[in-house]
Chains A and B, each alone.
Chain A
Amino acid sequence: MGGAWGAPFSLLLLLISYRTVTSLDQIPYTPQISALALEGKVTAATFSLEQPRCIFSELAAPADAVWLVVAFSNATEDFQNPKTAAEIPSYTELSSSFYYMTLKLSPDLYPCEEEDIAVLRVGSDTNCLRNLSQEYCNAPLLAPGPYRVKFLVMDNNGQPKAETWWSDPITLNQGKDPRSIDTWPGRRSGCMIVITSILSTFAGLLVIAFLIASTVQFSSLWWPEDPSPPEQLHIGSFIGKRYTTHHIPPSEADTLPVGRGAHLPPGPCPAPIV
């Protein structure tokens, strides 16, 4: 009797245990990029996630491991939770299967206490590049993505226990070529136009004014004016020229007018030239 019930009973037990194993606990949490004001949150080869604090406390025992699954956005449907430790995809499989698992950490590292700077940086380990067959490698990412991540809790036998939701797509920041920067200053600035136009106008004005002034001045040289009439003396009613001769006695020589025009007082200036 026991034997007859034995086979279907054990089959039932097997079925029940299979279902409990495959029905993972869903943790209602979406991984996201850190909300802190960090300049290097998303760079060309790394990105920094918010640490999943206080969400594993009920479901995970200290002996378990919390893994981060990183996959390309179009490969998330292809990803199946690994059922044994050997099936865990390492970093080298990223280029072939388009997903991998990394950052194996204990749930104790995500306590409920608040901490100032709590981030999880994906891609920060350059040392494991030399030995890529390590169990998990958090090497820098080579492609710009977009990536989606989720957390997976596995017990020490390698059986998955719980998982979070997939995150939103994260695209890495590929640097642009600096030769693409356009250095043309664009519109001329207002100040430069003011300076140039005003100064050019003034310089031109001065040159024209100078030419006019010199023309006015030198035209008087080219066109000689009428010579001024000679000095005339009134001697009684006779109006005539006065000649100086050698027969003038010296006493009268002093009364003769000397030269034409006004004196210039003796000074440092050079003789007037016209």
Chain B
Amino acid sequence: EKGSPTVVGLLVLGNIIILMSGLALFAETVWVTADQYRVYPLLGVSGKDDVFAGAWIAIFTGFSFFVVASFGIGAVLCHSRGMLLTYLLLMLIVYVFECASSITSYTHRDYVVSNPALITKQMLTYYNAPTSQGQELTRFWDRVMIEQQCCGTSGPLDWVNFTSAFREATPEVVFPWPPLCCRRDANFNPLNEDGCRLGHQDYLFTKGCFEHIGHAIDSYTWGISWFGFAILMWTLPVMLLAMYYYTIL
């Protein structure tokens, strides 16, 4: 059998890059599933948690790219038609799965953080609600508001402009917004409770938390969707070249 050395060289090079990228994708999506920002409760309650489903698929496809590309290097160097056919078939399957991961991840990210509406509605409905989902989201919001020094989704006025589960539990004159929105000193006492109730910016966090949440989910999505997209863009010419090589082998 003949085998043009240029094509063989290009295919080996292409597959080396695919296997390295696949390993990087695998490692990066493990980071995503570890959820350092701990935003999973938000997505889980909304039912739009396929950003993480895309991450799980990408763990599988990243490692598969590594394995199949290594096999492909062997197939090309052995000038073997059978191995090359197996390589093409496996690579096609992994390609399709990776496409699915990339598309799903981005679409669900759009549902959740393209505008603050979904998160605002969820916060108003579940914060301080007595259900188990409510408790989970209350823990989430309490943690985010303290760590990021923010209040509400777009600001404390979310609690004034809408009724909420929090409003049912706490009348407005007691506290118009959650007490965790107050600025506190080192001993965790509010600096000025009346100032916080009135809403003076020295005593209340006036920033909204949406920026932080949006940044967290965007980081995950960029790592799954766009990185996967880049790998697939590179894999396409390599696979077309491999198919051409298969026909001339």
Interface residues, chain A, with chain B CB atoms under 8 Å away = 36-41, 43-46, 48, 117, 119, 121, 123-126, 140, 173, 175-179, 181-183, 185-186, 188-189, 191-192, 195-196, 198-200, 202-203, 205-207, 209-210, 212-214, 216-217, 268-270, 272-274
> Which parts of B68-114 form the interface with A (CB within 8 Å)?
78-82, 85, 88-89, 92, 95-96, 99, 102-103, 106-107, 110-111, 114
Contact yes or no, B200 A126, CB < 8 A = no
B34 at the A interface (CB under 8 A): no
Instruction: Give the nearest-CB partner of B160 in chain A.
Output: A43
Nearest-neighbour CB distance to chain A for B157, whole angstroms, equals 6
Q: Which of B117, B155, B161, B173 contacts A45 (CB 8 A)?
A: B173
Kindly identify which residue among B1, B164, B206 contacts A39, using a CB–CB cutoff of 8 Å.
B206
Considering only residues 220-249 of chain B, those with a C-beta below 8 Å from chain A are 225-226, 229, 232-233, 236, 239-240, 243-244, 246-247
Partner of A183, one of B117, B161, B162: B117
B114–A44 touching, CB < 8 Å? no
Which of A39, A41, A207, A270 is packed against the most chain B CB atoms within 10 Å?
A: A39
Partner of B200, one of A38, A123, A188, A203: A38
Bound form: Cα–Cα A178–B119 in Å = 11
Report the bound CA distance from A203 to B232 in whole Å: 9
> A181 to B121, Cβ gap below 8 A?
yes
Contact (Cβ within 8 A) B244 A195: no
B236 to chain A, nearest CB (A): 5
- Please, how many angstroms separate the alpha-carbon atoms of A274 and B82 in the complex? 8
Q: Which residues of A contact B244 (CB under 8 A)?
A: 213
Q: What residues of B have a CB within 8 angstroms of the CB of A206 in the complex? A: 92, 95, 236, 239-240
Inter-chain contact A40/B236, CB cutoff 8 Å: no
Q: Which residue of B lies closest to A48 (CB)?
A: B198
Does B11 have its Cβ within 8 Å of any Cβ on chain A? no
A211 smallest CB distance to B (angstroms) = 10
Please give, as numbers and ranges, the residues of chain B lying within 8 Å of A43 by CB-CB distance: 160, 172, 176
Contact of A217 among B102, B118, B172, B247 (CB under 8 A): B247
Q: Are A186 and B229 in contact (CB under 8 A)?
A: no
A119 CB, nearest partner CB in chain B, Å: 7
Residues of B near any A CB (own CB < 8 A): 1, 78-82, 85, 88-89, 92, 95-96, 99, 102-103, 106-107, 110-111, 114-115, 117-118, 120-121, 124-125, 155-157, 160-164, 167, 171-174, 176-177, 195, 197-201, 204, 206, 225-226, 229, 232-233, 236, 239-240, 243-244, 246-247
Q: Pick from A121, A175, A188: contact of B167, CB below 8 A.
A: A175
From A41, A44, A126, name the one whose CB has the most chain B CB atoms within 10 angstroms.
Answer: A44
**Contact of B160 with A40 in the complex, beta carbons under 8 Å:** yes
Contact A126 B82 (CB under 8 A): no
In the assembled complex, the CB of A260 is this many whole angstroms from the nearest CB of chain B, namely 15
Q: In the complex, what distance in Å separates the CA atom of A126 from the CA atom of B107?
A: 48
Q: Is A210 a contact partner of B173 (Cβ separation < 8 A)?
A: no
Q: Are A176 and B162 in contact (CB under 8 A)?
A: yes
* Chain B: minimal CB distance from A220 (Å): 10
* Residues of A close to B107: CB separation below 8 A: 192, 196
Structural contact, B117 and A126, CB atoms closer than 8 A: no
Known: A38-B200, A46-B172, A185-B110. A214 touches B92 (CB 8 A): no
- In angstroms, how far is the closest chain A Cβ from the Cβ of B180? 15
**Roughly how many angstroms separate A273 CA and B1 CA in the complex, as a whole number?**
11
Bound Cα distance A8, B232 (Å): 109
Contacts of B1 in A (CB 8 A): 272
Measured between C-beta atoms, what is the minimum distance from A121 to chain B in Å?
7
CB distance from B88 to the nearest CB of A (A): 6
Separation of A176 and B157 alpha carbons in the complex (Å): 12
Taking a contact as CB atoms under 8 Å apart, the answer to whether B229 and A183 are in contact is no
Query: When chains A and B are docked, how far (Å) is the Cα of A176 from the Cα of B80?
Result: 69
Chain A min CB distance to B42 (Å): 13
Residue of B nearest to A197 (CB): B103
A270/B247 in contact, CB under 8 A: no
Would you mind naming 6 contact pairs between A and B with Cβ atoms under 8 Å apart? A40-B198, A117-B195, A202-B236, A206-B240, A213-B243, A272-B1
Chain B residue numbers with a CB within 8 Å of A178 are 120-121, 124-125, 162-164
Q: Is the CB of A123 within 8 A of B173?
A: yes
Contacts of B172 in A (CB 8 A): 43-46, 140
**Complex CA–CA separation, A212 to B247 (angstroms):** 9
Residues A209 and B99 in contact, CB atoms below 8 Å apart: no
- Report the minimal beta-carbon distance from B164 to chain A, rounded to whole angstroms: 6
B200 touches A117 (CB 8 A): yes
5 smallest A-B Cβ distances: which pairs?
A39-B199, A40-B199, A178-B124, A269-B78, A213-B243
